Amino acid sequence: MATAAETARAAEARDRRDRWLLSAPGLIIIFVAAIGPLFVMLAYSFMEKADYGDVKFGVFSLEGWVSVLFQRDIFDDTLGLADAHLSILWRSISLSLYTTVLTLLFGFPTAYFIATRPATTREVWVFLVTIPFWTNLLIRTFAMQQVIRNEGLINTALISLGIIERPWQIMNTDLAILLGMTYVYLPLMVLPLYASIEKLDFRLIEAGYDLYASRWQVLRRIVIPLVKPGIVAGSILVFIPSLGAYVIPRVLGGGKSMMLGNLIELQFGAGRNWPLGAAISITLMALVMVALLFYVRNVSRSGASHG
Partner 1 sequence: MARRQRAYDIRRQPGFGLIALFTFFALYLPIAALVAYSFNAADSLSRWDGLSLRWFISAWNNQAVQDASIRSLLLATWAATLATIAATMAALATTRTPNYPGLTFKYAFINQPLMVPEIVTGVALLIVFSRIKVWTGYTGMGYLILAHTAFCIPFAYLPIRARLESMDLTLERAAADLYATPWRAFWRVTLPLLRPAIIAGFMLAFVISLDDVVITEFVKSGGQDTLPTYMLGQLRRETSPEINAIATVFLALSVVLVTVFYFVNRRRP
- Under rule CB under 8 A, which residues in 198-237 are in contact with partner 1? 202, 205-206, 209, 215, 219
Residues 6+ away with beta carbon under 8 Å from 153: 146, 147
Q: Stretches 29-37, 62-70, 73-81, 228-236: which one binds partner 1 (CB under 8 A)?
A: 29-37
**Of 65, 91, 99, 183, which one interacts with partner 1 (CB under 8 A)?**
183
Question: Smallest gap, in angstroms, from Cβ of residue 187 to partner 1?
Answer: 8
Touching partner 1, residues 232-291 (CB under 8 A): 240-241, 243-244, 246-247, 250-251, 260-261, 264-265, 268, 274, 277-278, 281-282, 284-285, 288
Distances (CA, A) of 151 to 154, 163, 172, 251: 8, 15, 14, 16
Mutual angle of helices 274-306 and 260-268, in 10-degree steps? 150
Q: How far apart are CA 128 and CA 112, in angstroms?
A: 15
Buried b (16+ CB within 10 A) or exposed e, 110-130: bbbebbeeeeeeeeebbeebe
Q: Which is nearer to partner 1, 10 or 35 (CB)?
A: 35
Q: Which of residues 82, 186, 193, 227 is near partner 1 by CB under 8 A?
A: 186
User: Cα–Cα distance between 66 and 61 in angstroms, integer?
Assistant: 10
- 10, 11, 79, 128: residue in contact with partner 1 (rule CB under 8 A): 128
Report how many residues bind partner 1 under the rule CB under 8 A: 89
Please choose, from the candidates 48, 92, 50, the residue with its C-alpha nearest in 3D space to the C-alpha of residue 67.
48
Closest CA to 288 of 248, 247, 241: 241
User: Closest approach of Cβ 227 to partner 1, in Å?
Assistant: 13
Segment 147-176, which members bind partner 1 (CB under 8 A)? 147, 149, 151-153
Residues near 205 by beta carbon (within 8 Å), at least 6 away in sequence? 218, 222, 223
Is residue 118 close enough to count as binding partner 1 by CB under 8 A?
no
Nearest approach, Cβ of residue 290 and partner 1 (Å) = 12
Q: Which of 14, 18, 164, 297 binds partner 1 (CB under 8 A)?
A: 18
